């Protein structure tokens, strides 16, 4: 992380746990919180992702630890929280970022497909928040930040499972904020707009002409989408989302709870309007 508006050492002595923290947006969040002095625990199902991410964080000078977890498993989540607390003595920041997603028509979506996304996104967010509660309560406060989305604001075909789960996360954010404010625990969410992950890039890959892959075609298609559909004219980056998470984790947000912040270059507001 080269540049940040946050002061060095802002999170010194603090412990941040980021689910799905080994890749994508979660890794961007780990990089920023780590660069601000937090000891970051990144959690993922996949050890190989964790090892690569931890090595990169340490190379950047961050204090990082890894923990394997499937957030669908409430018992395993409890064990993870105990492990972090045993290791560092506290947990100041929980970022519920782990998510699963794929396009599937509602009429043929299997019960297991529905269940797997609801369990990762919604149950996982609840299990992790519930498990960290006693730790944060005992230490006099903490911050929980969940990653939501904007697609459920109007509905999004082929994403019944993910939109339902993320709407649930928004509801949980408000409810937990009210229940836990008296313990000094602030609960907020960030709703990212489009970030060109591998899945998005795949969706933007046009069929190759005459069998010859055009290596610039994806970039052109992405640029075209940004020009037409994102008022601020560019795709987001994990750093854009991480900046909002760091703000919410910081004392600058001490009077902010139960809020959901859209960080999307204006995309959802402009959805359906073409900028030509
Ligand atoms: N279309 C339709 N159904 C799908 C699917 C797709 N693209 N991908 C998975 N499913 C279904 C599976 O068929 C299975 O249902 P079935 O048992 O009735 O066949 C069910 O979802 C669970 O699939 P499985 O692969 O066993 O998932 P998992 O529980 O190990 O992991 C995901 C679920 C969502 C993490 C996994 O599908 C995945 O890796 N998705 C892409 C990566 C991703 O989501 N990254 C995060 C971006 S936010």
Domain that holds residue 219: 196-229
Report whether residue 191 contacts ligand 1, using a CB cutoff of 6 Å: no
Residues 32 and 142 in one domain: yes
Provide the percentage of residues in the chain whose pLDDT is more than 70.
Answer: 96
The residue whose CA is least distant from atom 3 of ligand 1 is: 113
3-state SS of 163-220 is: HHHHHHHHHHHHHHHHHHHHHCEEEEEEEECCCCCHHHHHHCCCCCECCECCCCHHHH
Structure confidence by residue, pLDDT tens digits, 57-89: 999 999 999 999 999 999 999 999 999 999 999
Residues 125 and 258 in one domain: yes
For residue 121, being part of any structural domain is answered with yes
Structure confidence by residue, pLDDT tens digits, 179-224: 999 999 999 999 999 998 777 777 777 776 666 667 788 888 899 9
- Cα distances from 143 to residues 26, 36, 46, 57, 257, in angstroms, run 16, 16, 26, 22, 9
For residue 217, being part of any structural domain is answered with yes
* Cβ neighbours of 137 (radius 10 Å): 15
- Could you tell me the CATH number of the domain that includes residue 154? 3.40.50.720
The number of folded domains in the chain is 2
The whole-chain average pLDDT of the chain stands at 94
Structure tokens that stand for 19 in this block:
């689910």
Please give the Cα distance from 114 to 201 (Å, whole number).
24
For residue 103, being part of any structural domain is answered with yes
Q: Which residues contact 245 (CB under 8 A, 6 or more apart)?
A: 29, 32, 33, 95, 145, 190
* Cβ neighbours of 105 (radius 10 Å): 9
Residues 200 and 152 in one domain: no
Q: What is the mean pLDDT of residues 88-114?
A: 97
Residues 65 and 120 in one domain: yes
Residues 83 and 122 in one domain: yes
Report whether residue 123 contacts ligand 1, using a CB cutoff of 6 Å: no
Pairing of strands 93-96, 260-263: unpaired
For residue 8, being part of any structural domain is answered with no
Residues 201 and 65 in one domain: no
DSSP three-state, residue 31: helix
For residue 162, being part of any structural domain is answered with yes
What φ, ψ does residue 217 adopt, rounded to 5°?
Answer: -60, -40
Residues 214 and 244 in one domain: no
Please give the Cα distance from 229 to 239 (Å, whole number).
20
Residues 145 and 122 in one domain: yes
For residue 133, being part of any structural domain is answered with yes
For residue 246, being part of any structural domain is answered with yes
Structure confidence by residue, pLDDT tens digits, 13-49: 999 999 999 999 999 999 999 999 999 999 999 999 9
The residue whose CA is least distant from atom 14 of ligand 1 is: 113
Report whether residue 108 contacts ligand 1, using a CB cutoff of 6 Å: no
Residues 141 and 213 in one domain: no
């Amino acid at each position: 992380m080269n540049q940040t508006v946050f002061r060095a050492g802002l999170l010194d002595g603090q412990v941040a746990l980021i689910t799905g923290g080994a890749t994508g947006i979660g890794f961007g969040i780990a990089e920023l919180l780590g660069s601000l002095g937090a000891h970051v625990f990144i959690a993922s199902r996949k050890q190989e992702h964790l090892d690569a991410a931890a090595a990169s964080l340490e190379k950047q000078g961050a204090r990082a630890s890894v923990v394997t977890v499937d957030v669908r498993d409430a018992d395993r989540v409890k064990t993870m929280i105990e492990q972090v607390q045993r290791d560092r003595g506290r947990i100041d920041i929980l970022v519920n970022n782990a998510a699963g997603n794929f396009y599937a028509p509602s009429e043929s979506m299997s019960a297991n497909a529905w269940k797997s996304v609801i369990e990762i996104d919604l149950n996982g967010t609840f299990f992790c928040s519930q498990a960290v509660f006693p730790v944060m309560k005992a230490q006099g406060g903490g911050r929980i930040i969940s990653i939501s989305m904007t697609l459920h604001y109007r509905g999004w075909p082929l994403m019944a499972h993910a939109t339902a789960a993320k709407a649930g996360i928004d509801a949980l954010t408000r409810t937990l904020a009210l229940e836990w404010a008296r313990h000094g625990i602030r609960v907020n969410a960030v709703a990212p707009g489009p970030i060109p992950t591998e899945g998005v890039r795949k969706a933007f890959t046009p069929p190759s002409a005459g069998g010859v892959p055009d290596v610039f075609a994806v970039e052109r298609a992405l640029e075209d989408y940004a020009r037409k559909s994102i008022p601020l004219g560019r795709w987001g980056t994990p750093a854009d989302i991480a900046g909002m998470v760091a703000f919410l984790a910081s004392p600058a947000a001490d009077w902010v709870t139960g809020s959901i912040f859209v960080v999307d270059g204006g995309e959802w507001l402009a959805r359906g309007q073409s900028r030509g």
